[in-house]
Amino acid sequence: MRTRVGNIQIGFNLWSLLSQNGLVVEKARAMAVVQTLDAPFPMAPVVRVMLHRIIEKGVATKDEIDINTLEYRLAEEREKSKTTYRTDGRASLEHRMLLRY
């Protein structure tokens, strides 16, 4: 993410992009990463990679994020709330090439 500008809407646009370029989407599906008390997903490494963009865009300050304690604070909050939450989604499009003559 540091070296390129990502498109967080790519999942919503992927079908159109593939279709406009001669591919046929045969099946589309989506999955989500779910955080539970007994199955956490480490978020600090993800935030660390995106840290400069978060700060640059004014979403949060370096002090608000406090990357060195972020994972601990997230675990603590998850434990206190006793809830399950979705952190992100993943889309999968299976496609095949159409040959046009």
- Residues 27 and 61 occupy one common structural domain: no
Task: Kindly report the backbone phi and psi dihedral angles of residue 77, in degrees, each rounded to the nearest multiple of 5, phi listed first.
Answer: -65, -40
DSSP label of 36: B
- Residues 52 and 17 occupy one common structural domain: no
Task: Kindly report the backbone phi and psi dihedral angles of residue 76, in degrees, each rounded to the nearest multiple of 5, phi listed first.
Answer: -65, -45
The whole-angstrom separation of Cα 11 and Cα 35 is 21
The domain tally of the chain equals 2
What local confidence, expressed as pLDDT, does residue 96 receive? 52
In 3-state terms, what secondary structure has residue 41?
coil
Q: From first to last of its 101 residues, what are the pLDDT tens digits of the chain?
A: 445 667 767 777 888 888 888 888 777 777 777 778 887 778 888 899 999 989 998 999 999 999 999 999 988 888 898 888 777 665 555 545 444 43
What local confidence, expressed as pLDDT, does residue 43 receive? 84
Residues sharing a CB contact under 8 Å with residue 65, sequence separation 6 or more, in sequence order: 47, 51, 54, 55
- Residue 54: inside a domain: yes
- Residue 2: inside a domain: no
Tokens read off for 10? 């790519």
What local confidence, expressed as pLDDT, does residue 68 receive? 95
Residue ranges making up the domain that contains 44: 37-83
* Tens digit of each residue's pLDDT (9 = 90 or more) over 13-30: 888 888 888 888 777 777
- Residue 44: inside a domain: yes
Query: Is residue 81 within a helix (H) or strand (E), and if so which, with residue range?
Result: helix 70-81
If one counts every other C-beta atom within 10 angstroms of the C-beta of residue 75, the result is 15
- Residue 66: inside a domain: yes
